[in-house]
Every structure is written in C-alpha cells, then in structure tokens.
Amino acid sequence: MATATSQANGKSKSHLTLWILAAILLAIVFSLWWPTAAENLHAGGEIFLRLLKMMVVPLVVTSVMSGILGMGDVRKLGKPGGLALAYYLTTTVLAVIVGLIVVNVLKPGVGTVPESAIAAAKVRQQSEEFKGKLRRHLAEKTGLEESQVNKALTPLAPEEKKTIQVVLNNLILMLFTDNLFRSAAQMDLLPLIFFSMVFAGMLTTMGSRVATLTDMIEQVNDALMYFVLLLMKIAPLGIFCLVAARFGQAQAEGKFLETLEQLAWYMVSVLTGLTIHALITLPLILWFFTRRNPYIFIYQMSQALLTAFSTASSSATLPVTMECAHQNANVSEKSTEFVLPLGATVNMDGTALYEAAAAIFIAQVAAHDLSMYQQIIVAITATLAAIGAAGIPEAGLVTMVIVLNAVGLPLEYIGLILSVDWLLDRFRTAVNVLGDSMGAAVVERTLES
C-alpha cells in the first residue's frame, strides 16, 4: 500500500514538472506571436509571484528555528554550519574561475557589439572625464578643494565609487538589524536568519520551560510547507503568466531578436559558463561528498529550477526549493531547513560567474587588456559581491558596479548588457538554486553524524 502511494506521488510530481516546462515553452511562443496580449498577463504572474514571496519571511524564520531545534543541542551547529559556509565559498570561487576561463577563451567582446553602442558609451565616458578635468581646473583657479567645487557645482560631482572595503563592511552589517519587522517587510533575510539561529539556539538550552513554544514553531513550519504544496498546484498557470508577460514586454519593444543576435557571443559565453558549473562542477562536488547520482538529483529538483527560471528570484523560489529538496530529492528536513534559507541569501554561484564574465566582456569591448593580477581582483571582488547580492531579480547589476570599479573599467558600458540581463538573470538564478539544494545534500552528511 505504501509503495503504491509512493509511486502515485512520484507520478504526480513528474506530471507537475512537465506541466511547468510546457507552461514556460508555451509562454515564450505566445509572447513572440502576440506580445501585446502576453503583456496583459502581467497581473496573473504578479499574483503568483506575490503568493510565493508572501511565504518567504515566515517560512525562513520557522524553518531555520525548526532545523536548529531538531538538532537538540546548539553545540551541534558548529560542524554543519562551518561546512555550509565552506561549500558556499568554494562553489562561488569555482564559478568565478569557470566564468573567467570561458570568457577569455571565447572573447565575446571582440567585434560583436554594434559600433553605435560603443560610441555612445565612449561619449558618456568622455563626458565624465571632461567633468573631472573641469573640476581640477576650477580647483586650481579658485584655490578651493575639489570637494568644495563639487558642493558648489553639483552636476560636476563624481559618482560614488564602491570599494572592496565597503563590500566587506556591508557584509558584516547585513547580519544585524535594529528593527526585525522592517527587515521582514523589506525581505532582508540575513538578519532574520541570524536572529532565528540565535533565538532557536537559546530555546534548546531552556528545556521543558519552552516546550509549548518549540512545538508551536514546528507546527507552524509544517503548516507553511503544506501551503506551499497547495500553491504548487497553480504553479503552471502562474509561471505561464510570469514568463509570457516578461518575454512579451521584450518583444513589444521591437528589438528582442535583434538584440539577441547582436549580443549572441556574450550570451553564449555566460550560458556556457553556467552550463559547465551546473552540469560538471556542482555535480562532481555532490558525487564526491554523497556518492549520489547528481543528474537524478537535478531532475528531482527540476520544479524548483523551472520556478527559479520563471521568477528570476532565488528568495521567491525558496518555498518551492525546500519542498522539492525534502519531498523529491529526499534531503533531510534538518538540512533543508538550516541550509537552504542561508543559501538563498548568500550562495550566488550563477551571479558570481556572470559578474566575472561580464566584467571581462566589458574590458574586451573597451579594448582594455586586463592583466592576470587584475583578473584575480575581478575574481575576488565578484565572489564577495555575489555573497552580498540580494536574492531578487537582477541584483547582479547592482553588484556589477563594484566589480567594474575594482579594476577601473567604465561603468557606462554596463548599458551594453542591460538589454539581455533580464534573460540571463533567469538562467543564473536557476544555477543559484541548484547550488543551494546540492549544498543541503552535502551538509546533510554532517547533520546525521
């Protein structure tokens, strides 16, 4: 009887994956043929996305607490926590290395971008250089400091540059908040995770005095996961609306296919790097630590990966990732509850790879040869910036500024990749989610010991 139920559940999950995949393909075709009608589906997609996001904050808080409470002793947190952080850092560095190798071999920025786009970027760059010269000239003539000239002539003020020190400081400060409710409202997950870990760790030391509270936390977590299961029943419809509306918007602007053609080599480079990381690097790590078949694991996580592609948000996908990892991939509940919320916030393999590849692409377009030392700086900065990237759509563009500043590349050239960033963002989000889920399977070994 149990075997028959298990087989039925397996068929149901397989059918749902096929429905989601069919919804994505149909949405793309529909948006290319009827872009205006596809744009009108925005409301349906937004409703589904909001339902997913609605679950994120309560699910993160209760799942992290449940995971730590399930360990029974807060002292057991050290080994799996250390392994999780080591896994995140290692896979992110490997992703950056893959991105650098691919973009250096394929050289997508050499002769593939329209001259008009390059000329426009150079004009903007020359404008900024002129402003700098004018600031220095006025400072010399007036005897004022450049900062005083900036205050007097606001349009001449340079854009604030973000440095690696700023990134490191922000990473530390991101753990703490002076208002948990504001962090929850802004879906700022790191301080919520930090608080949940500390609070749950404290509960494990209080014994029977907090038995009612610990039971309630676990019951709320179970109820939220059941809500996620119900939400997945409408996932194909919501995903169809999401994908159709976004692709329809791009097609309605009139230059979608033309833009893809112009930036084809850049996209091929990024997608090649993401594919290598997703199908070779991460699977090797999973197999080495767990001896699980990584490609069966990828299939088991397919619902979460397709949802990640549709939403372009690892945070919004988190409820589905947790459900798939535990129910489909048979990763222990302790591991999914502890590792996945943290991974959705700080583990951004796809984003790190994209930032490294995009930086080298921009250097090639600008005919700016980066030395080995500068490429190492790109790798380090991309790794740190990716860890600090929020799990929201196109967060990589924000941290891209940090990477370009680190090696003195012109920020204006970011405009060259904006037209396809929304599409690449979906692929790198799927890679982020895959890295998170495989991390949960790796850390699971230490939780069982």
Q: Is residue 225 pLDDT above 70, yes or no?
A: yes
- Of 437, 432, 435, the residue nearest 391 (C-alpha): 432
* The predicted structure's pLDDT at residue 435: 95
Reduced to 3 states (helix: H, G, I; strand: E, B; else coil), residue 276 is: helix
CA quadruple 61, 194, 401, 129: dihedral sign: positive
Of 274-278, 298-302, 403-407, least confident by mean pLDDT is 403-407
Higher model confidence: residue 124 or residue 39? 39
Q: What angle do CA 363, 367, 370 make, to 5 degrees?
A: 50
Q: Are 422 and 250 in contact (CB under 8 A)?
A: yes
Q: Is residue 158 pLDDT above 60, yes or no?
A: no
Q: Residue 182 and residue 191: Cα distance in Å, rounded?
A: 11
pLDDT band at 156 (very low <50, low <70, confident <90, very high): very low
Q: Residue 82 and residue 315: Cα distance in Å, rounded?
A: 22
Long-range contacts at 197-206 (CB < 8 A, ≥ 24 apart): 197/64, 197/68, 197/77, 199/65, 200/64, 200/65, 200/66, 200/67, 200/68, 200/69, 200/74, 201/68, 201/74, 201/77, 202/74, 203/65, 203/69, 204/68, 204/69, 204/71, 204/72, 204/73, 204/74, 205/74
Domains and CATH numbers, the chain: 2-448 (1.10.3860.10)
pLDDT band at 152 (very low <50, low <70, confident <90, very high): very low
Read off φ and ψ for residue 176, nearest 5 degrees.
-120, 150
CA quadruple 388, 418, 32, 271: dihedral sign: negative
Mean pLDDT to the nearest integer, 291-317: 92
- Of 392, 384, 383, the residue nearest 167 (C-alpha): 384
Q: Are 404 and 411 in contact (CB under 8 A)?
A: yes
- pTM comes to 0.77
Average pLDDT value over all residues in the chain = 80
- Of 319, 345, 334, 347, the residue nearest 56 (C-alpha): 319
Of 199-208, 226-235, 389-398, 404-413, least confident by mean pLDDT is 389-398
Q: Residue 345 and residue 347: Cα distance in Å, rounded?
A: 6
The pLDDT tens digits of the residues spanning 192-224 come to 888 988 898 888 888 888 889 999 998 998 898
Q: Are 317 and 308 in contact (CB under 8 A)?
A: yes
- Of 243, 258, 288, the residue nearest 430 (C-alpha): 243
Q: Which two tokens stand for residue 113?
A: 């971008």
Of 183-192, 246-255, 346-355, least confident by mean pLDDT is 246-255
Mean pLDDT to the nearest integer, 232-244: 89
* The predicted structure's pLDDT at residue 264: 84
